[in-house]
Amino acid sequence: MNYNRRNFLKTIGAGTLSLSFASIFSACEKKVSKPNIIFIMADDMGYGDAGCYNPQSKISTPNIDHIASKGIRFTNAHSPGAWCVPARYGLLTGRFPFRTDLKRMKTTSLIEPGRMTLGSLLQRNGYKTACIGKWHQGFENLRNQDYSKPIQSGPVERGFDYFYGIHASLDIPPYYYIENDRCVEAPTDDVEASSSEDVTQIQGAFWRAGKIAPNFKHDEVLPTFTEKAVTYLEDQKKSNTPFFLYFSLAGPHTPWLPTGKFKDSSKAGEYGDFMTQIDDSVGKIVEILKNTGQADNTLLFFTSDNGPVWFEEDIQRYNHKSSHFLKGMKVDTWEGGHRVPFLVSWSGKIPQNSVSHENICFTDMMATFATLVGDKLPENAGEDSFNILPVLLGEKYEKPLRGAIVIENKAIIQGDWKLIFDSGRGGLSRWLSKQPIEKSEQKGELYNLKDDPSENNNLYGERSDLVQSLTALFEKYKKDGRSAPLSR
Ligand SMILES: [Ca+2]
């Protein structure tokens, strides 16, 4: 019997305990033992944008820095993909994205029906679940919708009780809001493409031409998502049920659209200004938790799905290193593409101002949340997920904490070593940078990230033993269908 149960029994008098009281007690115990969880995911934010990671950042991020000061900051947290879709699949399912077929998204949801998600895991453990923001895991027949009918295979069919958001990135039409499985207002109008001067075609106020709902304004999306999230959190104050909010921002991905007081609020151009506005949204979440008395019982995460769209030309122009000391950017298999800021706070549980250098991955949230709520994952769920709760809580744990991390089907990281199967340079910088592309004589890239975190010294030709063993490990993961041990 724990302290809370003893106190409860003392209060009501043990002799009066009946079945109905037992069930009341059960509800009370749930409230006490299961914290609320908020997972804030920025979109295309760099490792070096927040001041808590990069003191030389040209962007002020007091609210993100505040989470770091109240909790733990990871220096080696990885997205399992360097762009939106695989990153979010890995987070939501606990599986490396190479295990699914990304082509599914052309016609349906990337997440297969019946597959456990963070949402459905928490639902079965008594949580209310909500996804507010960008989904980007596909819907059924999105391009061929009858907007008077339900939009199928979205978040409400993948473990979330409530959804308010957009189908994909904010530069991809059609542009309209979806609430649960219904279109809020159909995209009956047309909008021309948008762009900014002096930046590449995938930066600035960029969006593609297409259909748009009459009520949809691109620059209102961030404030709208923030307002919806704040309202959701206000509503939870009245509830005794723990909640999970996946707050999936659509910025600082393009279009970069800072509004009002956020214009010229940074020294890193429109990108930096928009990032300041993102930070302000994070502050509003923290504030409403405090104002509603929910802050102490809420586990709060902040991260970004992948690296920034920030070229060498931008670094020179603003003297701001969005990827900090990491090489590359979004879509690259270098660290700038997939090593992300990752902060977690939980009052009284996670030591303040702590820092961890452990390799962790988005896929680990599945096993971590399961452990947190006292559940055991089925064998066919979270195959690449490892419980990181001991790290969060500052407890002792056995090393290594997890198996290797696989980035799409392009790289594998184990301990200090990283093998890139081809070239670390991904599509964006290959297509758009004005900088010359260096030609590698090697078939792949191998780095010791501890000695060489900026990936300058390719040891592929010198350490064929490691190239072979890391290649074999990836093949084993593919063959076994999992990287996690069966019992977690
Ligand atoms: Ca992204």
Whole-Å CA distances, 221 to 30, 103, 186, 218, 256: 35, 28, 16, 6, 11
The helix (run of H) or strand (run of E) holding residue 11 is helix 3-12
Residues 396-454 pLDDT 10s: 999 889 999 999 999 999 999 999 998 877 767 666 655 665 666 778 999 999 999 99
Whether pLDDT at 226 is above 80:
yes
Distance 83 CA to ligand 1 centre (A): 5
Half-sphere exposure of 391 (CA within 13 A, CB side): 26
Can you give the pLDDT at residue 209? 98
Distance 250 CA to ligand 1 centre (A): 8
Residues 71-127 pLDDT 10s: 999 999 999 999 999 999 999 999 999 999 998 988 899 999 999 999 999 999 999
Distance 213 CA to ligand 1 centre (A): 23
Confidence of residue 167 (pLDDT cuts 50, 70, 90): very high
Residues 137-165 pLDDT 10s: 999 977 777 899 999 999 999 999 999 99
Percent with pLDDT over 90 in the chain: 84
Distance 254 CA to ligand 1 centre (A): 10
- Which residues does 20 contact at the CB level (< 8 Å), separation at least 6? none
Mean pLDDT of 207-231: 98
The superfamily (CATH) of domain 33-402 is Alkaline Phosphatase, subunit A (3.40.720.10)
Distance 272 CA to ligand 1 centre (A): 16
* Dist CA 49 CA 347 (whole Å): 25
Percent with pLDDT over 70 in the chain: 90
Distance 251 CA to ligand 1 centre (A): 8
Residues 246-275 pLDDT 10s: 999 999 999 999 999 999 999 999 999 999
Tokens of 344: 């977690």
Whether pLDDT at 4 is above 60:
no
Whether pLDDT at 341 is above 60:
yes
Mean pLDDT of 378-392: 97
Q: Is the pTM of this model over 0.85?
A: yes
- Which residues does 310 contact at the CB level (< 8 Å), separation at least 6? 46, 271, 320, 322, 323, 329
